[in-house]
Amino acid sequence: MKVLSVVGNRPQFVKSAPLSVALRDRGIEEIVLHTGQHYDSELSQVFFDELGLPEPGYRLDLHTAEPAPMRAGIRKAIAAESPDLVLVFGDTNSTLAGALAANDTGVRQAHVEAGLRSGDLEMPEERNRIEVDRLAAILFAPDDQAAETLAGEGVPGRREVVGDVMLDATLQLAPVAARRSHVLDALDLEPRAYVVTTVHREANAVPNRLEQILEGLSRVDEPVVFAVHPRTRKTLDHAGLEAPANVRLLRPLGYLDFTALASQARVIATDSGGLQKEAYWHGVPCVTLRDTTEWTETVNVGANTLAGDDPDAIAEAVTSARMPAERPHLYGDGHASERIAEVLVTLSP
């Protein structure tokens, strides 16, 4: 069997890493296509280098996040390779472009992280999730709730509850990060005595919301290290927004350094879906800088607080954040990649 895996941003590089190994171990030929949605070397190549990802067979190098040109480029790759399946991850425009291109060419598509819903249709990621799920022949859900959502919506694809491939990556790579990274020494930070922040969503990377978020962080009585996404950096620069005295702006970090930094924080404040999960797995309480989340279980167990962009809510949530006394296992057991590969092995070419 031949699989075309479509990736384009940091979380997708992480998700694809353990799955690439599982596919290879089972004799499945994988061709990786990098859409170029994240084309900055700090957001892209460093991840391929650190995670040992197979070199992409195709790099679109479009330097855009728009799905239309990606879709055309993926169609060309499908025509050249004739894969049996197109594999897409998550909820980005790269995900949507891969699903649409597969549909255009009559090739089966499998969606990793199927069935997630935040309920916020104003978010492009939510619209992408819904459309990609409806086009998928195989729906790899991270948990029973996601599978039930798909069933409730009448989504026609084959549902498989496999767990979360990002947990696979976290369990495999967090010990590597702990051994190799010296990021806390470099930044002169003490474990559990600082807050890690990331902001990258389109809705937040605008002057008024970013100013509100910074105001909330300024009221936190401890150091805040803010790993700044290029989109967010552009907004900060163009709007003339300055970081508060307790907030330290960092360039994007590689996976191992960021994992070491995040896993030893006291709190993580973020608008990233993936980082909400990683915070939970690391045992770090999370404050989500959004009004909704697709990872609702983290909120339900008391490990994640939705604060939006309200300065008072952000400051209060960060200051009071604690992990719950009981932490149930969420999103699998670290073997999602193996389950996905086993399903694909059973498919006829």
In the block, residue with structure tokens 């909820």:
91
Catalytic status, residue 63: no
Residue closest to 253 by CA, chosen among 197, 205, 309, 316: 197
Give the CA count within 13 Å in the CB-facing half-sphere of 61: 6
Which residues 6+ apart lie within 8 Å of 132 measured at CB? Answer: 88, 91, 95, 96, 99, 109, 111, 114
Report the alpha-carbon angle 238-241-245, nearest 5.
150
Strands 58-59 and 29-34 turn out to be parallel
- Give the integer Cα–Cα distance in Å for 318 and 217: 8
Q: How far is CA 16 from CA 91, 131, 151, 194, 306, in A?
A: 14, 21, 26, 30, 28
Q: Which of 111, 200, 229, 282 is catalytic?
A: 200
Q: Decide if 232 contacts 211 (C-beta within 8 A).
A: no
- Give the integer Cα–Cα distance in Å for 176 and 259: 10
Active site residues: 200
